[in-house]
Chains A and B, each alone.
Chain A
Amino acid sequence: MNAPLIQLLNINKAYKNVDDDTQALHHVTMNIHEGEFVCIMGPSGCGKSTLLNIAGLLDLPTEGEVLFKGENVVKISSRKRAQLRRDYVGFVFQSFNLIDDLTVYENIELPLIYQQIPPNERKLRVEKIMDQLQISHKKRVFPNQISGGLQQRVAVARALVSNPQLILADEPTGNLDSERGREVMELLQMLNEMGTTILMVTHSTAASDYASRVVHLFDGQIVTENLHKGR
């Protein structure tokens, strides 16, 4: 097995409320290895998204350590974490999270701008990924002018354009019909086969079938872990 890309060591996460604290994660420990396709499942409110955000360096645990490529990211600055995110991580969200004021092309280009890639190279890379995902014909339109399936494809293109080692997908098929959902999952599977590590949160068992490992969470704790061969 490859070296762990992300190691979560004894993670606790609590949210402060007015009357009491909500414990979102309880002593969670897990490794995600390079090239894995890990799926996290569980009922609403079990801490799936929290786990994903912590693994994707978007959020910090209340206690415990998060090692990204061996480095403890809890101790580093938010600036360094932003750098790690833009260099290694791509995000795909349930609600696509495209920016309405930017065109499809500009949305996809965005991560490259933050990586300070020169404009010429940006153009090449954006066009290449749009070709691959067959969305080139929509480059000048705005997200709200295209269908949900296409929007998610744009979101995937945006996640991929910077060639991230890790893709975090939060309910990537949640807002899509089954056909469009299948297309997105096949896309993720293809990426995984090409070597990209994928960490996905989903309710959908159909989507979880694409994963090589499925982790079940309940009340903030890992209850089971199953290895899949995938379809």
Chain B
Amino acid sequence: MGIAFFTLLVLVVQYELSYDAFHQSADRTYRVVEIIDTQDIGERSASVPIGLGPTLKTLYPNYIDQSVRFFNHQAYSHVISISDKKYNENHLYFTDDDFFKVFNFPLMEGDKETALSEPGAVVITKELAKKYFGEKSALGKKILYEKKHYLKVTGVIDKDNCPSHLDFEILVSFSTLLITNRELFYKEDWVWNPCWTYITLKEDVQPEELEADFEILLQDPTKFPEYLRDYVELYLQPIQEIHLYSDLDFEMSPNGDYMYIYIFSAIAIMVLLIAAINFMNLSSVRYSTRVREVGIRKAIGANQTELINQFIVEASILSILSMFGAIVFLELLFTFVQDFLSNSGFVLRDADPQNLFLLVGLSGLFVGALSSFYPLFYLSGFKPLEGLHDTSPKGYQQKRFRKWSVITQFIISMFLLFSTYVAKRQLDFMKDSDIGFKPENIVMIPMGEVRFQSNNFERLKDKFASLPNVESVTGMDEVLGVWVQNYPYTFIKNDKKLPSAFFASIVTYPEVFNVFDFQVLAQNQRNANDIPSREIWVNEKFIHFMGFETPEEALDLKVYTYYGYQKISGVLKDFHYEPIHKPIEPFIIDVNNKYRLLNSFSNKFLALKIKKGSNWNILEKQLELKWTQVVEYRIMDTFFLKDKIEDTFKKEEQLAKVSLIFSIIGVIIANMGLFGLSSFITVRKNKEIAIRKALGMENFQAMIFVSKEFFVLVGSACLVAWPTAYLAMKLWLDNFPKAVNIDIGAYIFSGGLTLLMTMLTVSYHVVKTGIKNPVEDLKAGV
């Protein structure tokens, strides 16, 4: 069981470590990332301006072999139609024709050389090919993109054995953007940075050499605007490190975390160690019953080497048997664990048999070697008489050894339980934390390309707002509470223009204050006839950032907008505009009162506040009806803001789950060993208890007497497990901006549960000993 669980965890870890390692030039491939740092705020962006990739390739031909961009209009989803069926696809990217030169995703159909070279070419994954065309070949088939552009399938990719942070399902040739004329529109924009851009360096080029030369590009007056130039830095990020180490703004998809690899590896090793100790313990008990046999063998002339050989053969047979057991167990568990991990971000891939056998073999060998080591040398080193008389002082050594091994198991399982408790508490704490507004009953509707179509946005908004169960509707450029954009703003303080800085912000409409229940700390008064075109609201962190003491002081601050200078409209109490994992920074709510249509690029989402207690199934149908009255070609997507926020806890949730399951497994394995030990200890105590009973000890006193020994074992384990687990969890909690205190509950949970399990495990032997008739044991010899 231990070997099986160890193998499963190692498979998960192996998979995590293998991300993007399959590309032929993986060690030379880097993602270009952009850090904008203005007065300690700004963004650390995983994506860069559209023009950067080709510019780099032209500017540094001696360093760079290939460059590939991914671009998705920063849209939540895109509409793909196949005859009368419509799909909203979340993983569609436009990409350069060098894609297959940099990335080695295998093509099941199509030609890598030409697949993405023509405008209108599209490559899809085999899953999508099946979804769109069933079992028929997808090659050459047409799909309709956003109602008006036909794309031709030029390739089908099999991503099955290609763990990658690139989470595409549809790749459209970048040159397709020429048809839609969008690239012409975007390419000279060096502020907007929507392109994930990868380069492959030439064989002997070090990334530092290129990074050092970026300065030439950064100071080019035709590229980054002057106000940004001094604050931008470009870096190269090794592609193989992205999945585990990158946590930038605007990642293509949520990444993994190296911390979890450490945690999983530690859990795997602990589970294996518990199993090994158990095996060692049980085999030492088994061998101790053979002391006499060893004595006889030695008396008739066996030497130590012969005995060691005998034990090695026996231990090997046992290990091999346990390996077979582990493989059977693995087979049984595999699908269960796969299901358990699905949607968690962690993957348990079907392992190739070679890898599986290697893992099981190595761990089995480790368990076998460790478990036979002690008994082997202990028994083979016996003097024959000691064996024959069976009263050697080594019996005490063995007893002590067994106790220590059980204490070690307790330490490990208690450590796991302690960690589980703290992880769960931290998770609950984050989930229950007041994020500064109530996300319940807020429904988000992604607009897709619909946002660009004349007054659709206004019409939809009004139609939705007319429904009785909809309280209010607003639009916004991103999903407040989950992810937001950064935009440059210029403030004027004491008549002095401050340098432009990139602030986290949301572009929205006045109804945002009806949909979200923000707490207003200060507000500029204005009369009804003088509503500004655009209002800038800020948070508390912002006023501290600007050096003000009170929210009211900040109301005199002016901001420069496209529409001229205007005062800050108001100050809001801090709230989590992004997941609680991230600290709150200065934040701006950019409210547009007029010119909605001009700002249609920001209308990516509609946010609806629905009435509490309204029937969602009915309401969804009503919304759909309204939606189809305005938009024909796109299906309405919806999600609850609360769910999206909870999704951000997936990793922590999974960690809590995984550590709970493995702690339980650890405890079960440890208790299996304890069961054996308890039989050993109680048998040893039988005689003493019989004597004590003859002297007047009662049954329950006998039970307490036997249990005492196990209390001591658990107690000793606590002394080591608690401080170690405390330090480890403190280290983990330091990663969070807000963390729980490790309270008494962690100690009670880990200690109490271990004690309870121990008592349940030993109770059989304790009760048996407690109620046993003492006569039997009194008869036994000295």
User: Chain A: residues with CB nearer than 8 A to chain B?
Assistant: 49, 53, 56, 58-59, 78-79, 82-83, 85-87, 91, 93, 95, 97-99, 101, 110-111, 114-115, 158, 170
Contacting pair B692 A58 (CB below 8 A): no
The answer to whether the Cβ of B697 comes within 8 Å of any Cβ in the partner chain is yes
Chain B positions 722-776 with a Cβ under 8 Å from a chain A Cβ: 771, 773-775
**Given that A59-B773, A59-B775 are known contacts, is A85 also in contact with B694, CB under 8 Å in the complex?**
yes
Contacting pair A58 B782 (CB below 8 A): no
**Given that A95-B781, A95-B782, A99-B688 are known contacts, is A158 also in contact with B775, CB under 8 Å in the complex?**
no
In the complex, A58→B778 CA distance in Å?
10
Contacting pair A114 B697 (CB below 8 A): yes
Q: Quote the shortest CB–CB distance from A228 to chain B (angstroms).
A: 27
**Given that A82-B693, A99-B688 are known contacts, is A93 also in contact with B778, CB under 8 Å in the complex?**
yes
Chain B positions 298-326 with a Cβ under 8 Å from a chain A Cβ: none
Considering the complex, give the chain A residue whose CB is closest to the CB of B689: A99
28 contacts between A and B (CB under 8 A): A49-B779, A53-B775, A56-B694, A58-B694, A58-B774, A58-B775, A82-B696, A82-B697, A82-B699, A83-B698, A85-B694, A86-B695, A86-B696, A87-B696, A91-B694, A91-B695, A95-B781, A95-B782, A97-B687, A97-B694, A97-B778, A111-B696, A114-B692, A114-B695, A114-B696, A114-B701, A115-B696, A158-B695
In the complex, A122→B483 CA distance in Å?
76
Give chain B's interface secondary structure class. helix
Contacting pair A97 B775 (CB below 8 A): no
In the complex, A97→B782 CA distance in Å?
7
Q: Quote the shortest CB–CB distance from B709 to chain A (angstroms).
A: 12
The answer to whether the Cβ of B266 comes within 8 Å of any Cβ in the partner chain is no
Contacting pair A83 B696 (CB below 8 A): yes
Q: Quote the shortest CB–CB distance from A100 to chain B (angstroms).
A: 8
Inter-chain contacts of A101 with B (CB < 8 A): 688
In the complex, A110→B699 CA distance in Å?
16
Chain B positions 108-159 with a Cβ under 8 Å from a chain A Cβ: none
Considering the complex, give the chain B residue whose CB is closest to the CB of A49: B779
Q: Quote the shortest CB–CB distance from B392 to chain A (angstroms).
A: 14
Choose among B690, B696, B778, B779 the residue that contacts A85 (Cβ–Cβ < 8 A).
B696
Inter-chain contacts of A49 with B (CB < 8 A): 779
Considering the complex, give the chain A residue whose CB is closest to the CB of B695: A111
The answer to whether the Cβ of B661 comes within 8 Å of any Cβ in the partner chain is no
In the complex, A110→B773 CA distance in Å?
19
In the complex, A83→B773 CA distance in Å?
15
In the complex, A41→B352 CA distance in Å?
76
Q: Quote the shortest CB–CB distance from B474 to chain A (angstroms).
A: 75
Inter-chain contacts of B771 with A (CB < 8 A): 78
Q: Quote the shortest CB–CB distance from B461 to chain A (angstroms).
A: 80
Count the A-B residue pairs with Cβ separation under 8 angstroms: how many?
A: 59
In the complex, A170→B771 CA distance in Å?
23
Q: Quote the shortest CB–CB distance from B761 to chain A (angstroms).
A: 24
Q: Quote the shortest CB–CB distance from B698 to chain A (angstroms).
A: 4
Q: Quote the shortest CB–CB distance from B352 to chain A (angstroms).
A: 53
User: Chain B: residues with CB nearer than 8 A to chain A?
Assistant: 687-688, 690-701, 771, 773-775, 778-779, 781-782
The 6 lowest CB-CB distance pairs between A and B, nearest first, are A86-B696, A114-B696, A82-B698, A111-B695, A97-B691, A59-B775
Inter-chain contacts of A110 with B (CB < 8 A): 692, 695
Please indicate which of the listed interface residues A82, A86, A170 has the most CB atoms of chain B within 10 Å of its own CB. A82
Inter-chain contacts of B696 with A (CB < 8 A): 82-83, 85-87, 111, 114-115
Contacting pair B775 A78 (CB below 8 A): no
In the complex, A114→B692 CA distance in Å?
9
In the complex, A88→B700 CA distance in Å?
20
In the complex, A93→B699 CA distance in Å?
21
In the complex, A59→B773 CA distance in Å?
7
In the complex, A58→B695 CA distance in Å?
10
Contacting pair A99 B698 (CB below 8 A): no
Considering the complex, give the chain A residue whose CB is closest to the CB of B696: A86
Known: A58-B774, A111-B695, A170-B778. 9 other contacts (CB 8 A): A59-B775, A83-B698, A85-B694, A85-B695, A93-B778, A98-B691, A114-B696, A114-B698, A115-B696
Considering the complex, give the chain B residue whose CB is closest to the CB of A56: B694
In the complex, A96→B9 CA distance in Å?
56
Contacting pair A99 B775 (CB below 8 A): no
Inter-chain contacts of A78 with B (CB < 8 A): 698-699, 771
Considering the complex, give the chain B residue whose CB is closest to the CB of A59: B775
In the complex, A56→B690 CA distance in Å?
13
Considering the complex, give the chain A residue whose CB is closest to the CB of B777: A97
In the complex, A86→B698 CA distance in Å?
10
Inter-chain contacts of B782 with A (CB < 8 A): 95
Considering the complex, give the chain A residue whose CB is closest to the CB of B781: A95
Contacting pair B691 A99 (CB below 8 A): yes
In the complex, A49→B696 CA distance in Å?
19
Q: Quote the shortest CB–CB distance from A202 to chain B (angstroms).
A: 16
In the complex, A170→B693 CA distance in Å?
16
Inter-chain contacts of B691 with A (CB < 8 A): 97-99
In the complex, A110→B698 CA distance in Å?
13
Inter-chain contacts of A56 with B (CB < 8 A): 694
Considering the complex, give the chain B residue whose CB is closest to the CB of A170: B778
Inter-chain contacts of B690 with A (CB < 8 A): 97
Considering the complex, give the chain B residue whose CB is closest to the CB of A91: B694
In the complex, A172→B248 CA distance in Å?
85
In the complex, A83→B699 CA distance in Å?
11
Please indicate which of the listed interface residues A56, A79, A85, A115 has the most CB atoms of chain B within 10 Å of its own CB. A85
In the complex, A93→B694 CA distance in Å?
11
Inter-chain contacts of A91 with B (CB < 8 A): 694-695
In the complex, A227→B769 CA distance in Å?
41
**Given that A97-B691, A97-B694, A110-B692 are known contacts, is A79 also in contact with B699, CB under 8 Å in the complex?**
yes
In the complex, A85→B696 CA distance in Å?
6
In the complex, A110→B775 CA distance in Å?
19
Considering the complex, give the chain B residue whose CB is closest to the CB of A88: B696
Considering the complex, give the chain A residue whose CB is closest to the CB of B694: A91
In the complex, A138→B694 CA distance in Å?
24
Inter-chain contacts of B778 with A (CB < 8 A): 53, 58, 93, 97, 170
Inter-chain contacts of B700 with A (CB < 8 A): 79
In the complex, A114→B700 CA distance in Å?
12
